[in-house]
Structure 1
């Protein structure tokens, strides 16, 4: 399940993943917010807090995730992934080489640091 994180600036799309995550979570929760921010601000600051293992994401969720990334390819300004899965954090740190904008992985204990980083305009 995806839920919106609301204690971030209006130009930050922030979500928390818990339990099972499927394509409907992306279509009904994540995509509308990403679309709104891209339209209103011309770029996207994105924070994704994973309180569930990535194995709990359905195939449909992964397809929607990839589609979202491609559809807004030029809009990504900052992406923060907050997780305790070391492999996800490492991939996040490295993926910045192939997409525009900055990417950074954070531990769950660093959520507040991640919020500040992703919200900064520099």
Structure 2
């Protein structure tokens, strides 16, 4: 499940992933939030928190994650990924070199620092 987090500026899409994340979660929550943010902002920031109860992604969710990132490739300003799941942290670090935005990975213990960074002025 993807939960949209509230209390962020309009240029920040903030989510938390819980349990099993499906393609339907992307279709129902993440993609509409990104599209809404892009209606009023040239660039968007993403806070992507992987909650302690995260169980995994289905194949459709993994594809939608990649597709959403590529569709808006030049529209990402900053991305903060908060996770203690090692394979996610490692994957983000590997693929971050191909992205035009600044991407940082934080452990769950530093979630407050990630939230501060994603909302700070450039």
Normalising to structure 1: TM-score of the pair?
Answer: 0.91
Q: Runs of 4 or more off by more than 3 Å in structure 1? A: none
List runs of 5+ in structure 2 lacking aligned partners: none
Partner Cα distance (1:92, 1:121) in 2? 23
Equivalent position of 2:117 in the other structure: 117
Aligned residues: 120
Equivalent position of 1:44 in the other structure: 44
Q: Tell me which protein shows more strand as a share of its residues.
A: 2
SS in 2 for 1:18: strand
Partner Cα distance (1:89, 1:119) in 2? 21
SS in 2 for 1:30: helix
Equivalent position of 1:66 in the other structure: 66
RMSD over equivalenced CA pairs, Å: 1.3
Normalising to structure 2: TM-score of the pair?
Answer: 0.91
